[in-house]
Each structure stands twice: as C-alpha cells, then as structure tokens.
Amino acid sequence: MINRKWLLGVKALALKKLPMIGRKWRIGAAAVALIGIALLVRGFWTTDGAAQSKGPAVRVVQVETGIAERKKVPVRLDALGTVTPMASVAIKARVDTTIVDVHFRDGGHVSKGDLLFTLDCRAMEAQVAQTEGMVARDKAQLAGAERDVARYTDLVAKAATPTINLDNAKTQSEVYSAAIKSDEGLLQNLKVQLSFCIITAPISGRISAANVKVGNFVRQADLTPMATINQMAPVYVSFTVPQKVLPDIRQAIAAETATVEATVPGDEKRASGQVSMIENTVDPATGMAMIRASMPNKDELLWPGTLVTAEMTLRIEEAVVVPTNAVQASQTGSFVFVVDNGVAKVQKVDAVRQVGDETVIASGLKGGETVVTDGQLLLSEGTRVNARAPKAAGS
C-alpha cells in the first residue's frame, strides 16, 4: 500500500510547480496528477491480487494406515459369567459328640477318602460291645430252645409227653430267633453311628477353614458346617445370553463348535472349555437364558465365585476385517477413510462386531483397501495424505 503522506506530498509538489498558471489550469494539473497516482495504485493492487489468486500450497496430512483383509474370523458372544463348582459338600456332624482331632490344613487340597475329623466315640463303642453281648446271649438261648424242640419231638413221637410241650418249645425258639435279628439290627445301627465319628472327604477339592477346632462339641442340629469342600477341577462357568441367540447356540452345540474361553480380570491367562447345557427356561422378566460351560481348570485358574469375562465361539466364517482404530463414528453411522492414490476418501461401513483388535465389516469394503488408522481428525473428503510408519508399542 502507498503511504498517504507520500500522496499528499506529490499533490503539494504539483501545485508548487505551477504558481503562475491560472486557477483553472492549476485545478486541471492537480486532476491529472491524481489520475496518474490512481493508475499507479491500481496497478499495485492488481499485482497484489494476482499474487493472492494463486492460493495457499496444497496441505498433505501424515497418517498411519492399515489393510482391510478378508479372512476367517470367529463369531463370538461376550458375557459376564460366574465360576461355580460342579460339586460342593458342607461337612456336618451326624452325632452329638466332641472333636478329638482335625487332620487337614485350612484351605488345603484334599482327596476323596482323606481323613478330616476324628470325633469322640467311646460311648458308642461301649454300646456296640453291650449289643454284641446281647446278640451272643440270644444265640445261646436260641440254641437251648432248638435242643428242647428236638427232645420234645422225640417224646411226642413216643407219646411220652403232651404235644403242647413241643409247641411251647417251638414258640420259644422263634422268640429267641426274632430277638437275635433285633439285636443284630441294633448292632448294625450302632456300628453305623460309630463310623460317623470318623469323617472323611466325600469328594476331592479345596477345603475351607475349619469352623470348629479340637475340643468343640458338635451336634446334628448345628446349622454352620464344620468345613466346606469345593471341587476345583472341573468347574462350571455360568453366564446369561439374550434369547434371540439361542438358535445359533443350539446349532453350535449340535455341531460341537460351541467353545468358551474365560478370562479372569487382572490375569492374561485364559481358560478354555465346552458349552455343556442351556437352562430349560428363559427368564420372562429379562428375556435372558442361562448357559453353563464345563471348564477342565487343571491349573485352578478359575476360583469358585469369581466374576469372569466369558467369550463363546459359535462358528468360524469368512469376513472382511479392519483394525478397530480405523472405524470412526458419526451421526449417520460408522465410516472409514480409504486412501486411494494418496487421497483420503470417506467410505461408509457396517461394523457388526469386534474380534480382538480388529472389527468385522459386513458391508462397505471388499478387502484389500488401505484404510487410515491414525490421524483421522485432520482428514476430510479429498484430503491428500502421506502414510508414515506405525508407532512402536509403548511409545
């Protein structure tokens, strides 16, 4: 821009050089000078506008890219599940007596048949001995009665004694025989009661802390168990799924492709198993059905009562996948930026599910396209891009 003071100076100079010319001539000369200045300024503006009309340089955005691949991916369902033991036994006393000894370590592993508790059984042993004596007495009495029956039989045959004596001998023999059965039954019951004083593990698994120690008196009526054993291998993982996916799950179970992987929060290890059953009813209040999977759990990764993330694989199918970072969301749906000859173009897609770090695309891509995975905030339709190497993990 031309300085205003300079323009005024030129005008004053023009007027100074024409002092002798008449008023009209001076006005005309000033007009001519102003026209020249205007033409000069116009040329300057024209030159400046021509320079601006060229516009700014084309912007190139640095982005990271990935490839849309067509490959086989699993069809999965994710749910929050709970680990439950296949078998759980609460150990309770079946006789009223005192604990003599505890034979396990709290929280330790026990095997089926291992000795857990020893109870005081001296009173029952005495009752067993008493009943055994009663059985022996009844047997001796029965033997005497049987001898009387044999003797009276011979005498009756010789008409040496009345028949009533023989009948009485037979009756007495039958009474002693019945007494022996009664005493033997009582003896067996006492022996069973005596066996309750030795408590062994009915299943293998992890045992809880003992709720009673040596010297405590336990009763059959106690509500709190003496200890609890949970089977640790195998275990169940139970979770719920919407009723709309039940047909797919039933087909997968029939094809033996319904597998489940359980992940414990805070642990990278995964436990695998098979779907074993579908609950026979759907909860009408929620529309959800219970699924139960059997997990071998040999390393005891799954602990009863733990909340886990369950991933059930129904089948394997071919689909187009892209890195999950490439999928963007908008008010009209999902889209990705596809790079074609160094230019970013918006492509609408139908993202149906996520598998690991990849997203399955149902429509919009055919596979083989280059998609932008980082730098989308600076992009729009037609923006030129330059792909850079992906960032190293953890950088």
Question: 């709720």: which residue's tokens?
Answer: 211
Torsion angle defined by CA atoms of residues 144, 149, 150 and 155, in that order, rounded to the nearest 10 degrees = 130
Residue 319 predicted with pLDDT over 80: yes
**What was the pLDDT predicted at 1?**
46
pLDDT computed for residue 97 by the predictor: 95
Coil/strand/helix, residue 355: strand
Level-2 CATH architecture, domain 62-72+319-387: Beta Barrel (2.40)
Closest among 308, 276, 277 to 79, alpha carbons compared: 308
Query: Does an H or E element contain 230, and which?
Result: strand 227-230
pLDDT at 151 over 60: yes
CA dihedral 20, 23, 27, 33 (to 10 degrees): 0
| Mean pLDDT of the region 126-148 | 94
Q: How confident is the model at residue 344 (pLDDT cuts 50, 70, 90)?
A: very high
pLDDT digits (tens, 9 = 90+) for 166-201: 999 999 999 999 999 999 999 999 999 999 999 999
With a cut of 80, say whether residue 152 has pLDDT above it.
Answer: yes
CA gap 120, 360 in Å, rounded: 67
The predicted-structure confidence for 49-92, as pLDDT tens digits, reads as follows: 444 445 556 678 899 999 999 999 998 899 999 999 999 999 99
Residue 38 has pLDDT above 90, yes or no: no
Q: What is the average pLDDT value for the chain, to the nearest integer?
A: 86
- Architecture in CATH for domain 76-86+230-316: Beta Barrel (2.40)
Question: Looking at per-residue confidence, does 154 or 59 come out higher?
Answer: 154
Residue 247: pLDDT over 70: yes
Res 21: pLDDT? 45
CATH of domain 89-227: 2.40.50.100
